[in-house]
A and B are shown apart, each in its own frame.
Chain A
Amino acid sequence: MSLASYAARRVALGLVQVLAVVTLVFFLVQALPGDAAVALAGDNPDPARISAIRAAMGLDRSVSERFVSWLAGLPRLDFGVSLVSGRPVADFLFAGIGPTVVLAALTLVLLVPISVLAGVLAALREGSLLDRALTSVSVALHSIPEFALAIVLIAVFGVQLAWLPPTAVGADLLTQPAVLVLPLVVLLARPICSISRLVRAGMLDALASDYVRHARRLGLGESRIRFAHALPNALAPAVQQVARTTDWLLGGVIVVEAVFVIPGLGTVLVDAVAGRDLPVVQGLAVVFAVTTVAVNLVADLVAFRLAPRAEVVA
């Protein structure tokens, strides 16, 4: 199968997946107990007022009617209106997506080269002091949860030594890059470990393979064998893990955003759930579904190119 026809099939499948998730989210939210109108009426649960709120929010229409109109709005980025503030849900999403994307992009830009390099170095010096040191450090980092690492880093570098700002309260992320350093360290700690371990294992397999032995017999240079022959084969499993990490980052890493007070998608989600602002929760679910499907689509296409034999079963 060619890359193009494979891509077309996967895109079609991705659209179906997004539609299924969106439908599921809508009906799950409907099934939640409690009544938004009652909650909004607050201290004054006058039946007349509650039914007025219902009418204003369209809650008096049938579920299927509301679903169709909500679904029709999605392609126009019309996610409905917040119950709490009355502002369009899209405003919340656009506000949150900026910081989350900045953080995710910077993390990935650092993550991929560092972890591939660490994995390759460990594999080339298998069993050496360097290999064991990289293994120990990365496993140690992987075993520390984000919130613990975040709090320790803030206590040491933010408060005691005062080298870096402890939180990003009120800061513009792009003009004050110093506020990003600690969150990036926390976000990188665990993925570096998982990805570099995969690259190391893949690289060891590839270096011991028949095609690498064959390339050596043909007289090709050692660095060309390592980086042009072994490495592409070693990367295939790591690509899937990078995709999972990307998905995790684009979902707004709630703990990190909360500890460092970064107003990303995670913060928006926490606020919306706390305020029972269901349209915003629904809107976020749509965003997460689309990013998950899109990221995995890209990963499968890359994996398809890296392992043309393996058909990724959709």
Chain B
Amino acid sequence: MSPVVHVEDLRAEANKNVLLDGVSFALSAGRVLALVGASGSGKTTTGLALLGERSPGVTVSGRVSLSGRVGFVPQQPASALNPVRRLGSVFREIAALHDGDPEDLVGTALRRARVPADLLRRYPHQLSGGQQQRVVLAQALVGDPAVLVADEPTTGQDALTRNEVVGELAAVVAQGVALVLLTHDVEVVRALADEIVVLRAGRVVEAGPANELLTDPRDDYTRALLDTVPPAPTTTPEQAPRLRVRGLTALYRNATVLHDVELEVGERLAVVGRSGSGKTTLGRCLAGLHQQASGEVLLHDRLLARSLRRRSRAELAAVQYVFQDARGSFDEHRPVLDQVARTAVRLRGVRPADARAAALTALNRVGLAQETVLRRPRGLSGGELQRAALVRALLAEPEVLVCDEITSGLDAVTRAGLLDLLAGVPCALVLISHDLDVVARLADRVVVLHEGRVVAHGPVETTLDGAEERMK
């Protein structure tokens, strides 16, 4: 079968920096090629080149030939859909660009992406994450493209939505469309890819059929990237629980999102459950960020105030929180180092100069150099910021650290580094996650939440299988 995508010797440069060097691959109809690599490896530049686009200041050379149209499925569909436009009117605009009856074109695309036609009256915010993903897929399918380029289609989605997305993409591929997948999500690669091209710093490290690369990678980098088998969890001695939760019931607006939750945080507790099960609200209650709640949160048998405004400095330092959105948890106008050092000054009364020195040492230890952390948050990648946020929380010397989905949206290498870091922290952990690999690797106990109730609670070895059942 002749290939529908043919890329030969693709090069890209920006300011004398080589972004891509000699990238070549080919893909036939109905096949899936996964471009994998850590952030900055050149995946996105390659994907844009397939669309005939390049970022400002980038020069691209080489040959890209496509037989047929190429459609693009963006990452984070929530921000790619215009908030003030109903879906139907945008679909009509897209259909008007192609030959044929607009009604037919839209109808066919909706059917292929399994979007119910009655969603067309809605605005994007009235859809679930999975529905938004299917809508952008349907938009790309209008006019019957030969090739689809999907950019990180599963970033920031929960496990259930991720499975849905994989299912939708597989269905479209079965209809004869060639799919180029830019991703660092190994699960998705495993589920979909026929061929894999591994990129590192703009060069092809390894390329070949998916089953060969996944089972027998030749290169160490490939192994690190594709390796998801978690190492055995580190064993920790039993200790008296540091944090106790009694009869916690929390409201959000008028809906009860947590029902009478009882739990004890000893060493490493994972809180798992689907989106909307109340995981994050539970974490926020512990940290004093959610006030519409009743029940008790006790630290070493001392009652913690419901609102963090009424907690003492020592109590604030004792429970620290690392947010899912690391970028959002930094002030964009001040250098990262200043913000990391500030916690110890505010909460432990350390002198500013000492706090700064301590912060620098701690940041260095997690692989963040001085010149990096002197930048503003804009100059750091998501993974770097997440490490800085973790260091910031640890400098408060907390008893309990609440981590809310802090590995979602990170590539496997960055994630592994962050997990190693977490494995070594000296305090108790509350790990909110839907990534069961992370849970298996770090936690010793698991709480499974479902619709705001604790449905399972126990050691990780015996509880996790049940948890997987419930999340699927």
A215–B125 Cα gap in the complex (Å)? 17
**Is there a chain A Cβ closer than 8 Å to B74's Cβ?**
yes
A219–B85 Cα gap in the complex (Å)? 17
The one of A211, A220, A305, A309 that contacts B93, using a Cβ cutoff of 8 Å: A220
**Is there a chain B Cβ closer than 8 Å to A218's Cβ?**
yes
A212–B72 Cα gap in the complex (Å)? 14
**Helix, strand, loop or mixed for chain A's interface?**
helix
**Is there a chain A Cβ closer than 8 Å to B81's Cβ?**
yes
Known: A209-B79, A219-B97. A233 touches B74 (CB 8 A): no
Tell me which residues from 412 to 468 in chain B have a Cβ below 8 Å from any Cβ of chain A. Answer: none
Residues of A within 8 A of B85 (CB): 228-229, 232
A215–B79 Cα gap in the complex (Å)? 12
A229–B139 Cα gap in the complex (Å)? 15
Ranked nearest first, the 4 interchain pairs of A and B with the lowest CB-CB distance are A214-B80, A210-B79, A211-B82, A309-B125
Known: A217-B51, A217-B72, A232-B85. A210 touches B80 (CB 8 A): yes
**Is there a chain A Cβ closer than 8 Å to B230's Cβ?**
no
- Verify A224–B80 contact, CB threshold 8 A: no
Closest to B53 in A: A217
The one of A211, A218, A219, A220 that contacts B83, using a Cβ cutoff of 8 Å: A211
Residues of A within 8 A of B90 (CB): 215
A311–B243 Cα gap in the complex (Å)? 37
Q: How far is the CB of B131 from chain A (nearest CB, A)?
A: 15
For chain A, the count of residues having a C-beta within 8 Å of the partner chain is 21
- Verify B97–A308 contact, CB threshold 8 A: no
Tell me which residues from 72 to 95 in chain B have a Cβ below 8 Å from any Cβ of chain A. Answer: 72, 74, 76, 79-85, 90, 93-94
Tell me which residues from 124 to 146 in chain B have a Cβ below 8 Å from any Cβ of chain A. Answer: 125, 136, 139-140
Known: A224-B93, A228-B93, A308-B123. A215 touches B82 (CB 8 A): yes
Q: How many A-B residue pairs have CB under 8 A?
A: 53
With contacts A211-B81, A220-B93, A308-B125 known, what are 17 further pairs, Cβ within 8 A? A210-B74, A210-B76, A210-B80, A214-B81, A214-B136, A215-B90, A217-B72, A218-B97, A220-B97, A228-B85, A229-B85, A232-B84, A233-B82, A233-B83, A305-B84, A308-B84, A309-B83
Q: How far is the CB of B24 from chain A (nearest CB, A)?
A: 24
A214–B78 Cα gap in the complex (Å)? 11
A215–B94 Cα gap in the complex (Å)? 9
**Is there a chain B Cβ closer than 8 Å to A307's Cβ?**
yes
A217–B73 Cα gap in the complex (Å)? 10
A215–B140 Cα gap in the complex (Å)? 11
For chain B, the count of residues having a C-beta within 8 Å of the partner chain is 21
- Verify A307–B83 contact, CB threshold 8 A: yes
Residues of B within 8 A of A214 (CB): 74, 80-81, 136
* Per-residue contact bits, chain B 323-337, to A (CB 8 Å; 1 contact, 0 not): 000000000000000
**Could you list which residues of chain B lie within 8 angstroms of chain A, going by C-beta atoms?**
51, 53, 72, 74, 76, 79-85, 90, 93-94, 97, 123, 125, 136, 139-140
* Per-residue contact bits, chain A 186-229, to B (CB 8 Å; 1 contact, 0 not): 00000000000000000000000111111101111000100011
Q: How far is the CB of B160 from chain A (nearest CB, A)?
A: 23
Closest to A233 in B: B84
The residue in B74, B76, B80, B139 that gathers the most chain A C-beta atoms within 10 A of its C-beta is B80
**Is there a chain B Cβ closer than 8 Å to A11's Cβ?**
no
User: Can you show 30 pairs from A to B with CB atoms below 8 A apart?
Assistant: A209-B79, A210-B74, A210-B76, A210-B79, A211-B80, A212-B82, A213-B80, A214-B81, A214-B136, A215-B82, A215-B90, A217-B51, A217-B72, A217-B74, A218-B97, A218-B140, A220-B97, A224-B93, A228-B85, A228-B93, A229-B82, A229-B85, A232-B84, A233-B82, A233-B84, A305-B84, A306-B84, A308-B83, A308-B84, A309-B125
Closest to B86 in A: A308
- Verify B139–A218 contact, CB threshold 8 A: yes
Q: How far is the CB of A87 from chain B (nearest CB, A)?
A: 50
Residues of A within 8 A of B79 (CB): 209-211
Residues of B within 8 A of A307 (CB): 83-84
Q: How far is the CB of A116 from chain B (nearest CB, A)?
A: 16
Tell me which residues from 97 to 128 in chain A have a Cβ below 8 Å from any Cβ of chain B. Answer: none
Closest to B51 in A: A217
A219–B145 Cα gap in the complex (Å)? 13
Tell me which residues from 131 to 175 in chain A have a Cβ below 8 Å from any Cβ of chain B. Answer: none
